[in-house]
Amino acid sequence: MPARRAAIALFLIAACAIPALANPKKGPKSGAAHNRPAVYYASRPEALEFADDLAARRNLDREWVRQAIGQAQFLPQIPRLMLPPPKGAPKNWRAYRSRFVEPVRIRAGLRFWEENQAALERAEREYGVPAEIIVGILGVETIYGQQMGNFRVMDALATLAFDFPSAHPRAAERASFFRRELEQFLSLSDRSNTDPFGPRGSYAGAMGLGQFMPSSWMRYAVDFDGDGRIDLFRSAADAIGSVAHYFQGHGWVPGMPTHYAVQFDNARLQLDALLAPDILPTFSAASLQAQGVVLDEAAARHTGPLALVELQNGGDAPTYVAGTENFYAITRYNWSSYYAMAVIELGREVAAARAR
C-alpha cells in the first residue's frame, strides 16, 4: 500500500501538472473563471455537512475539505447532460457507429498503434487483453488523448454529487456514486499535497487518455512505462497498461471472442425471453439454440454463458449478436451494448488498416 500511495501521489503531481500548494491546509485555488456569476457550494449546508463527514472518516483536515468543497462551482449544464434521452426515442446502431468508426479515429488509431506497439504487445501478454480492444477504448474515449475534456473535475464531481438531476430514473443511486467519487478525488489530492482544482476532464469527472474515474485510478492505474509515476494524461504506456488492468479486473477471459454472429429460426424464436436479461451473459449455447437462435459452429462450441444482444437501427431491422463474457467486460467501462460494439469495431478497423 505505501508504494501504491507514492505512485498515486507522483501521478497527480506530474501527470496532472497541478501546482503543489505550499500548505494544502490553506485551501485550493479556485481555478477558471466563468461567463456567468459563479454559484459556490459554500452556500449549501448539505455540501458542507458532507465535507465534515468526509474529513472525519478519512482523517483529513476539516477546514481544507470544507474550503475545497465550498469553492467548487455548480455547473448548470452538467445535470442536463446526465439525463437519458426521452422514452421512445429511436436508437440507431448505424448512426452511433458512424460517430466512432470513422476515418479520423482510424488514422489516429493507426498512428497510436505504430508508436506504442511494444506497450500494446506487452499489455496483451501480461493481462490477456488484445491490442485492438485497448486501441478501440482509447479511440472511442478520447481519440488517443486529443479530447480529454475541459471541465474542472472538482466542479463536475461536486455538481453531480449534490445536484444530480432528480428526473433521472436512478437519481439517488447515481448521486451516491458521484459522492463516493468526490471523496476519492479529494483523498488523492490530500495525499499528494496538490490542488484539487487543477485536473480537467469530462463532464462526469473522468480523466486522462482512458477517462478513468478517481476510484478506477486507485484500483487499476499502473506505472506501465516504469518511470516511477502513474501518468494517465501524458504516458500512452501507462494508459495502455491501466486499461488492460481494468479489463482483467472486470473478468476479461484471454483468448475468448467478444461475440458471435447469429441467425434466427423464426418458428421457434422466443425473442422476449432471450432479451430479458439484457446484456448480462445468461444462456448456454444449447439454450440459445433451443429458443430459436441459429449459431455457427464456433458459437455452438462456446462453453461460457452468452447474451442475445440487440442493436436497434431506427426504423430498420435490428442487428443481433451473441455476446460473451468479454463483450460484457467491455460494458463495465460504459454500460451500453452500442458502446461495446463501437469499441470492438473501431479496434478491428484500425487493425485492418495496420495490416494493409
Residues with catalytic roles = 141
Q: CA 7 to CA 192: how far, in whole Å? A: 10
Pairing relationship of beta strands 151-152 and 316-323 according to DSSP bridges = unpaired
Look at the chain and count its residues: 356
- Exposed/middle/buried for 331, CB within 10 Å: 0-12, 13-18, 19+? buried
Q: CA 177 to CA 330: how far, in whole Å? A: 20
Sign of the C-alpha dihedral computed for residues 129, 133, 137 and 139 taken in this order = positive
| DSSP bridge partners of 319 | 311
Q: Where are the alpha helices (DSSP H) in 83-130?
A: 93-100, 103-115, 117-127
For 293-330, b where at least 16 C-beta lie within 10 A, e where not — what string?
bebeeebeebeebbbbbbbbbeeeeebbbbbbbbbbbb
C-alpha cell at 161: 454529487
Contacts of 290 (CB under 8 A, 6+ apart): 268
Q: Which amino acid is at 140?
A: V
C-alpha cell at 282: 445468461
